[in-house]
Amino acid sequence: MTVGEDDLPAAHSMDTQWFVVDEAGHVAVFDSGEGGGVADAHFDWWGAQSVFEELLVELLAAAELGGVHFYSEGLFEEGHEDEGEDYMTTVIADEPGAVPVWNYAPDVVLELGEEVGHDEVARALKVEPAALWRLPSKGARLVYVAECDNEQLRAGWQAAGIRRAKVGYTPTPARMGLWVYDCETYDDGVYERVSGPRGPALRLEGLPTHLRHRLGEVCLDAVEFSRDEQVDPLEHLPGRTWGDI
């Protein structure tokens, strides 16, 4: 497949987050940086500069069908930052007055009371119901809102039945059960494992058919994420680096 010029990222930002399955059926996010190779098969299903948030939305949309879990333990505790989370821009609020006033709309995870319905929460926050994603976790009722206006979060706090909010936070691969590898070298294209699942590992076989097809196209049959700290995917699959495009 040839990547068109319109699909190419800016020269100063060439990172691609792409998705790989190992011999055990576990799923990982590979962050190419500017030097890591990407399997050709990835481009058949995802864009030239894909990001984890694209897969996150697909997983949350399929959560009711089973096989998808969000690990929530420690989420609202200080000092429990996830791999890849920018703790400098994350605020935990337990009342509306603690919600920061920023000049942009950040991603937010909310813990809700059971008495308020999905559509009521959406109305209180002035977002479309489809933009409010339930996080499939045990115990607390959690939802994820992308780009939630902080002023409206303050104003709609009571009506939405919010108990706590993690402002400036996007659910991370580790809490969704994925492994994470990245490549920080231009020399050999080897990816290093940087984190593993915080809870149950996401398994390909437990996902709906359409996601099994999309993710299963890039499978490293000789690799096991729990075992292999380093992986060179282009030793196993045809692919390219940004220098090849």
Q: What is the pLDDT of residue 7?
A: 43
Residues belonging to the chain: 245
Task: Supply the pLDDT for residue 6.
Answer: 43
For residue 52, count CB atoms less than 10 angstroms from its CB and return exposed for 0-12, middle for 13-18, buried for 19 or more: buried
Mean pLDDT by 10 residues, the chain (245 residues): 39 72 97 90 86 93 88 84 62 94 91 89 93 91 94 95 94 95 83 94 93 92 96 92 62
> What per-residue confidence (pLDDT) applies to 143?
96
Q: Are residues 160 and 121 in contact, defined by beta-carbon separation less than 8 angstroms? A: yes
Question: How much is the pLDDT for 176?
Answer: 96
DSSP string, 3-53: PPGGGPPPTT----EEEEEETTSBEEEEE-TTT--EEGGGGGTS-TT--HH
Q: What is the pLDDT of residue 59?
A: 95
Cα–Cα nearest to 68, from 212, 193, 166: 212
pTM summary value: 0.87
